[in-house]
Amino acid sequence: MKIYKKENVYDAGLDRIRYLFDEFENVVVSFSGGKDSTIVLNLALKVAEEKGRLPLKVLFLDQEAEWQAVIDYIEDVFDDPRVDPMWLQIPFKIFNASSNVKQWITAWEDGVETMRPRHPIAKTENVYGTDRFFDLFPAIAKYHYPEGNMCFLAGVRAEESPRRYLAMTEALTYKDITWGKQLDKKNDLYTFYPVYDWSYTDVWKAIHDNNWQYTKVYDYQYMHGVPIRNMRVSNLHHETALNVLFYLQEVEQETWVKLTRRMTGINTAGKLKDDYFVKDLPFMFRDWLEYRDHLTENLVQDHNVKEKFKKTWRVQDERYEGMKHIKDLYKAQINTILANDVDLTKLKNFTEKPDVLNWKKWKQGITNKYSDKNKYIHG
């Protein structure tokens, strides 16, 4: 249940960032070039100016396979004298969701032709003791701020998934704050999400009202009919962004050519378009369960990934046995296979939908007077 207050989200976001500037000696914006981090950047610049804390430290972890329009925007942001830039183009492993054969590449790998030359201001040596994306942020914080008392500000919103909503509203992270994540308790290192309760409409209203610059990727997506709520900016081969490949070749031809040279599976995914994710059950299978098992056995090439998927299917088959519209679960599992989503991001978003969670509670005997109205309740 949402509780609405008289304060609007714009003012609330500013107040949260003001509080963090008062609490932390070092505040760094973790910037991706997307609309949400654009909001955080501009709010933080406003607060930093109020408090005499300019230039504002801004971190961009470059994943190499980025939209050129994002890189153009990053350059404009880093040219701002109010910004103290940290542009990382360092080698680290990154997952390629478009391929079942070569699933991992090393971004900015030495000795290979990368998609772009390294930028003159970029740091290029990985001195952080890890080569995994999510592990890099706490490692970066600890390396550059060994004395602690530091926080990242990041543009993550609860609206985008049930998992995020729960993660940012359930448990205390720092004092009375739930909208954050502890990176290192001993060294007082955190990431906070000060616009966690914004809607996508709030985001675009703030950008429009303040005439803030944003990446033109969103204009491309609008022209190609992507619903405003579904617009995302991420690396070009992320498991939640494969649909980008369906129109990348039309709007950034040079980026498309460089990407297909750099990574396997991209060209196939981009050409399949609407046929990449299956909407109708292929005629040769009697049901979605049989189709799921066929894809698991024959499409997934990595043995460890295959076993992980099989174990997940076994657990979920038992947990959700008897659920009405069980085929929706099978479809989510199938999309997990087709997107090569080894982290099960898509599947977790499905199983943590409110109606699915209600069904699981009902099955466990935790029922309420509204549960029988839910479409996933046993028919």
What pLDDT score does 275 carry?
A: 46
Closest CA to 374 of 354, 349, 345, 347: 354
Position with higher pLDDT, 187 vs 149: 149
Interval 35-57: pLDDT, tens: 999 999 999 999 999 999 999 99
Q: Where are the beta strands (DSSP E) in 141-290?
A: 150-154, 180-184, 189-192
Quickly state the pLDDT bin for 373 (edges 50, 70, 90): very low
Closest CA to 222 of 199, 195, 204, 242: 204
Interval 71-99: pLDDT, tens: 999 999 999 999 999 999 999 988 766 55
Q: How far apart are CA 100 and CA 342, in angstroms?
A: 10
Name the residue with tokens 């080569």. 131
When pLDDT is averaged across residues 359-375 and rounded to a whole number, the result is 62
Mean pLDDT of the chain: 86
What domains can you pick out in the chain, each with its CATH number? 9-200 (3.40.50.620), 288-373 (no CATH)
Interval 97-134: pLDDT, tens: 655 556 678 999 988 889 999 999 999 999 999 999 88
Q: How far apart are CA 339 and CA 341, in angstroms?
A: 5
What is the percent of the chain with per-residue pLDDT over 70, rounded to a whole number? 87
When pLDDT is averaged across residues 164-192 and rounded to a whole number, the result is 88
Quickly state the pLDDT bin for 269 (edges 50, 70, 90): very low
Quickly state the pLDDT bin for 255 (edges 50, 70, 90): confident
What pLDDT score does 264 carry?
A: 65
What pLDDT score does 74 carry?
A: 97
Q: What is the CA radius of gyration of the chain?
A: 22
When pLDDT is averaged across residues 346-373 and rounded to a whole number, the result is 72
Residue 103: partners with Cβ closer than 8 Å, 6 or more residues away? 95, 96, 302, 305, 340, 342
Interval 148-161: pLDDT, tens: 899 999 999 988 77
Q: How far apart are CA 31 and CA 10, in angstroms?
A: 19
Whether the bond between 282 and the residue before it is cis, its omega within 30 degrees of 0, is no
Position with higher pLDDT, 309 vs 365: 309
- The angle that helices 288-298 and 326-338 make with each other, rounded to 10 degrees, is 20
